[in-house]
Chains A and B, each alone.
Chain A
Amino acid sequence: MDLTPVRAETARAETAIDWRQVRLLLATNWRTKINRASRSPFAFAFGMLLLGGFALGAILFSVVLGMGISALKASNPETAGAAVHEVFLSVFFVVVATPVLGFRGNEFLDVTKLFVHPVGHRTVFAATFIGLMGSGAVLFFSLPVVAAVIGYGGPPASVAAGIVAGLVLMLVSVALGQLVLLAFLNTLKSRKWRDLSMVLVPVVFGGFWVTFQILSRRGAEGRSMFVGAVEWFATWKDWTLPLPSWWAAHAVTGAGWARFLPLVAALALVVWLVRASAELQERAYFGEVGEEPAAEGVSRRGILGRLASRLRDPLGALVEKELSILGREPAVRSILIGQAIYPVLWGGLGVWRLMTTSSPEGLGRYAPLAGLVAYPLLLMELGLVMNLLGLEGGGAVHAMLLPVRRRLLLLGKDVAYLLVFGTLNAAFAIVATVVVFVVTSAGSVADCAQWSLLGALEGYCVLAVGLGIGNVVSVISPVRVAVRDRRAIRQQVGGREGCLRSLVSLAAVFGSMALSIPIALLFHMPHVLRLIPEAGTPPGWLLLVTVPVAVVIAAAALVGGAIAGGRLLEMREEDVVSKLTKSDE
């Protein structure tokens, strides 16, 4: 055996920071960002627009903020101090959260990818720390901090000291962010986090936009909202004393030399955080943090599966298979979460407008319309409905070998989607109707039951129309979204094909909405007629005619779409398979 002992100089070389490697890592990090942004001319233009927007937004925001704090200090110095605290607190949380929120978008934050290279964990740590300090988040959010300090004013020495305090705040925030990143590396690499971050990131950006809107409002209303928010924060500002943001802000707004003492504590905290992170980094380096996440459990057959098993084969078998995929394929969750912003935003906005413009009694008039909730839900589902074949992935080859008519392949998917998402729409419609009836005390129990049932039926019909169009669009423009190796491998479509895909998607969305409108009109014909004074009172039997017509239209759209899609699929089979499979499948 040849077990030579470690020499002291080798051990030192193992732990020393290699600055040449640090520079290379930072440069390569930039390269990945540039590659990502310049993937296509559209992506490049969008990236530049986004970057320019952020830069301009940050500058404008900071100028407005600085001027606001300056004006506030002239009239109410105490509130101005609270405003500085509020800015520092917000920036602290944002910078701490940035590495976690940006984990999915920046490959270099997954440090485990570096460990096959001859690079020491301290080198990796230094590169990550410097990279985060130079990240867009730190650069953009430094501006409001500097603006708050300048806006608060004081002698030049105080302003300079305030800017140093802001820098210390950034150091602490980045160090804490890095610690969080390393501590939760395993979670951040998981599918669940990927899904969650798809919701969190837009929410955070939406929050910035709303804040900017409030701050940049001109006139008395805008000023009162800004001052109101700061005054509200001032009542609990000192509860944030344990946070580094308070320490840094106190160095700006406090008096006497003692106000700088917390900054010393902040620097000590940076040292501690760096040491703790380095320890975690070392554990990650030896594979003790980023273990593979456990395999997801296989969902058991539920009520829908049992329902599908009652259908005659081969349709029953196709539906059962599709239900299994919908229940287990992580891409389904990702797409739905990604699209959930539409029902949340549109539905929320609608409810908010109704509640702010109508009294509870007035709101009761809209109770029978609660079933319309299916329409924003359809927008969420369109990501899947317009790409019915996308979840097949490599299984597309298998599907095409099945000895069944192509229209049946699509119908199998349609039935499964109706069982899953139609039921979801129906459930939402029932809940929404019951809630509105209960809250507004509008109408009888029989009315509530009638509109709940009609709302549920409308939910299925709206989806059926979407599926009818989806049957055709899915064949014209399939995009692979199946997950393999724990990673979504969405087929990247660029150039002319990507442009065509976007146009087809747009047309499909508008087509679905246009075909759905008659369904809505037929389900709510009495309410439509009431809007027309000359139409008189609608007869009681009207719905008995219009609702069956709506159901027939929806069914015709579904079946017609399946037939047309099936014919198209027969002609384009080879093309569809090649788009849904990778070259090594």
Chain B
Amino acid sequence: MTDIPAVPELPPPPAAPAPAGTPPQYSVVAEKLTKLYGKKAAVDAIDLTVAPGEFFGILGPNGAGKSTTIKMLCGLVRPTSGRAMVLGHDVRHEPVAVKSKIGIMPEEVNTYERLTARELLSFTGRMHGLSRAEADERTNQLLRLVEISDEDARKMIVDYSMGMRKKTVLAAALIHGPRVLFLDEPFNGIDAVTTQALRGVLQKLTERGVTIFFSSHVLEVVEKLCTRIAIIHQGRLQVVGTLPEIREKTGHAEGVPLQEIFIKVVGGNTERGELSWT
């Protein structure tokens, strides 16, 4: 594996929550979690658990329900039925408590474009209850971490490229030291060097007990980073487990790449027509 670039020290995560006197056994719990849009089930009765410190990857083809699942777990979309707990908080009834302890990087960057990166990070930190001085100090560290120069940090986000926007939003998701990090397609639009740096940061976070729940189409990254993987298709959870467990459940031999398993699980068609002119 390539050397991971040195990254500045991250903000310390907050003390583990103990809502009912005892720390929760799992960071994320979903029980028959369902979201209907009209009659169509975007997510259909998903059950899953994610332990503290896990690097959990959720895979699925476009429209499989990955983003909706993440949005429900973050308290951004209300489940139609079922229940979800994040760090011991019910996402339906305690969305503010959930959001105060998690970091979110949505797939679509929808943020204040007339703020600079520095202002957005400071604002986010203060929304999480940090003092201005503390928020500014963490902002400086995070800007170095995601390699946004001082000059760029003074520009408004409206002038950023997609990669820069994603880096800014990721930095904002980290400023309060979240216990669980939800990342929806985090590596889309980010260059290889930054991707490598961010992978290093994410691994460092999991070593410190932070749970990472992320979706990605880059199966190679998922295979390398994730301790457990879930494959979702048409809103239903198809298979979940470590890579060896998934191989065993899907009847694949050891060493079969994740891509092959994924295509088989989601029923993808790898046979394409021939080109008549080649």
Which residues in A have some Cβ–Cβ distance to B below 8 Å?
1-7, 10-11, 13-14, 21, 24, 28, 31-33, 35-36, 39, 107-108, 112-113, 115-120, 285-288, 291, 485, 492, 582-584
Chain B 84-127 against A: per-residue CB contact (8 Å), 1 yes, 0 no? 01001110011111111000101010111111100100011011
CA distance A115 to B111 in the complex (A): 10
In the complex, the number of residue pairs spanning A and B with C-beta atoms less than 8 Å apart equals 118
CB <8 Å contact, A287 and B124: no
Please name all residues of chain A whose beta carbon is closer than 8 Å to the beta carbon of B74 when the two chains form the complex: 116
Report B78 CB to chain A, min CB distance, Å.
Answer: 4
Report A161 CB to chain B, min CB distance, Å.
Answer: 41
Known contacts A35-B116, A113-B110; A584/B189 CB under 8 A: yes
Known contacts A119-B127, A286-B78; A3/B31 CB under 8 A: yes
CB <8 Å contact, A492 and B112: no
Instruction: Identify 10 residue pairs between A and B in the complex whose beta-carbon atoms are under 8 Å apart, listed by A's number.
Output: A1-B31, A2-B29, A6-B90, A28-B115, A32-B114, A33-B114, A113-B111, A118-B97, A118-B100, A120-B96
Looking at A21, A108, A120, A287, which has the most chain B CB atoms within 10 Å of its CB? A287
Please name all residues of chain A whose beta carbon is closer than 8 Å to the beta carbon of B25 when the two chains form the complex: 2
- Which among B29, B110, B114, B161 is the interface contact of A1 at CB below 8 angstroms? B29
> 14 more A-B contacts (CB under 8 A) besides A28-B115, A120-B96?
A4-B19, A6-B90, A24-B126, A31-B115, A35-B115, A35-B119, A112-B110, A285-B95, A286-B76, A286-B95, A287-B77, A582-B161, A583-B161, A583-B163
CB <8 Å contact, B96 and A107: no
The number of chain B residues touching the other chain, given as a range, is 35 or more
Please name all residues of chain A whose beta carbon is closer than 8 Å to the beta carbon of B106 when the two chains form the complex: 116
Which 6 pairs, one residue from A and one from B, show the smallest C-beta to C-beta distance?
A286-B78, A118-B100, A287-B77, A118-B99, A32-B114, A584-B161
Report B50 CB to chain A, min CB distance, Å.
Answer: 11
- Which among B90, B124, B156 is the interface contact of A35 at CB below 8 angstroms? B156
CB <8 Å contact, A4 and B24: yes
CB <8 Å contact, A13 and B96: yes
CB <8 Å contact, B85 and A3: yes
CB <8 Å contact, B29 and A119: no
Please name all residues of chain A whose beta carbon is closer than 8 Å to the beta carbon of B95 when the two chains form the complex: 14, 285-286
Report B177 CB to chain A, min CB distance, Å.
Answer: 13
Report A562 CB to chain B, min CB distance, Å.
Answer: 32
Q: Is B236 positioned at the interface, with any CB of A under 8 Å from its CB?
A: no
Please name all residues of chain B whose beta carbon is closer than 8 Å to the beta carbon of A1 when the two chains form the complex: 26, 29, 31, 49
CA distance A286 to B68 in the complex (A): 12
Please name the residue on chain A nearest to B90 by beta carbon: A6
CA distance A286 to B98 in the complex (A): 13
Q: Is B159 positioned at the interface, with any CB of A under 8 Å from its CB?
A: yes
Known contacts A31-B115, A112-B110; A6/B85 CB under 8 A: no
Please name the residue on chain B nearest to A7 by beta carbon: B19
Q: Is B247 positioned at the interface, with any CB of A under 8 Å from its CB?
A: no
CB <8 Å contact, B83 and A3: yes
Known contacts A3-B83, A583-B161; A31/B77 CB under 8 A: no
Please name all residues of chain A whose beta carbon is closer than 8 Å to the beta carbon of B112 when the two chains form the complex: 28, 32, 107-108, 113
CB <8 Å contact, B76 and A32: no
Please name all residues of chain B whose beta carbon is closer than 8 Å to the beta carbon of A108 when the two chains form the complex: 112
CA distance A192 to B114 in the complex (A): 22
Q: Is B20 positioned at the interface, with any CB of A under 8 Å from its CB?
A: yes
Q: Is B217 positioned at the interface, with any CB of A under 8 Å from its CB?
A: no
Report B193 CB to chain A, min CB distance, Å.
Answer: 13
CB <8 Å contact, B94 and A117: no
Known contacts A31-B115, A35-B116, A117-B127; A6/B96 CB under 8 A: no
Q: Is B199 positioned at the interface, with any CB of A under 8 Å from its CB?
A: no
CA distance A361 to B106 in the complex (A): 67
- Which among A2, A291, A485 is the interface contact of B88 at CB below 8 angstroms? A2
CA distance A108 to B99 in the complex (A): 19
Report A118 CB to chain B, min CB distance, Å.
Answer: 4
Q: Is B252 positioned at the interface, with any CB of A under 8 Å from its CB?
A: no
CA distance A274 to B191 in the complex (A): 47
Please name all residues of chain B whose beta carbon is closer than 8 Å to the beta carbon of A3 when the two chains form the complex: 29, 31, 83, 85, 90
CA distance A466 to B20 in the complex (A): 73
CA distance A11 to B108 in the complex (A): 30
- Which among A2, A118, A119, A287 is the interface contact of B76 at CB below 8 angstroms? A287
Please name the residue on chain B nearest to A35 by beta carbon: B114
CB <8 Å contact, A10 and B19: yes
CA distance A71 to B78 in the complex (A): 59
CA distance A312 to B15 in the complex (A): 71
CA distance A119 to B99 in the complex (A): 8
Report A410 CB to chain B, min CB distance, Å.
Answer: 28
CB <8 Å contact, A584 and B163: yes
Report B125 CB to chain A, min CB distance, Å.
Answer: 10
CA distance A4 to B89 in the complex (A): 7
Please name the residue on chain B nearest to A1 by beta carbon: B29
Q: Which of B141-199 contact A (CB under 8 A)?
A: 156, 158-159, 161-164, 189, 191
CB <8 Å contact, A10 and B83: no
CB <8 Å contact, A6 and B100: no
Chain B 193-227 against A: per-residue CB contact (8 Å), 1 yes, 0 no? 00000000000000000000000000000000000
Report A289 CB to chain B, min CB distance, Å.
Answer: 11
Please name the residue on chain A nearest to B88 by beta carbon: A4
Please name all residues of chain B whose beta carbon is closer than 8 Å to the beta carbon of A7 when the two chains form the complex: 19-20
CA distance A116 to B156 in the complex (A): 20
Please name all residues of chain A whose beta carbon is closer than 8 Å to the beta carbon of B76 when the two chains form the complex: 115-116, 286-287
CA distance A120 to B110 in the complex (A): 19
Known contacts A10-B97, A584-B163; A2/B26 CB under 8 A: yes
CA distance A582 to B160 in the complex (A): 9
Please name all residues of chain A whose beta carbon is closer than 8 Å to the beta carbon of B93 when the two chains form the complex: 6, 11, 14
Report B120 CB to chain A, min CB distance, Å.
Answer: 9
Report B108 CB to chain A, min CB distance, Å.
Answer: 7
Report A44 CB to chain B, min CB distance, Å.
Answer: 14
Please name all residues of chain B whose beta carbon is closer than 8 Å to the beta carbon of A583 when the two chains form the complex: 161, 163-164
CA distance A582 to B93 in the complex (A): 42
Please name the residue on chain B nearest to A105 by beta carbon: B114
CA distance A4 to B27 in the complex (A): 12
CA distance A197 to B114 in the complex (A): 20
Please name all residues of chain B whose beta carbon is closer than 8 Å to the beta carbon of A14 when the two chains form the complex: 93-97
Report B197 CB to chain A, min CB distance, Å.
Answer: 16
Please name all residues of chain B whose beta carbon is closer than 8 Å to the beta carbon of A6 when the two chains form the complex: 89-90, 93-94
Please name the residue on chain A nearest to B20 by beta carbon: A4
Please name all residues of chain B whose beta carbon is closer than 8 Å to the beta carbon of A28 when the two chains form the complex: 112, 115, 119, 123
CA distance A362 to B5 in the complex (A): 82
Please name the residue on chain A nearest to B74 by beta carbon: A116
CB <8 Å contact, B90 and A119: no
Please name the residue on chain B nearest to A25 by beta carbon: B127
Please name the residue on chain B nearest to A292 by beta carbon: B108
Report B76 CB to chain A, min CB distance, Å.
Answer: 6
Please name the residue on chain B nearest to A285 by beta carbon: B95
CB <8 Å contact, A2 and B123: no
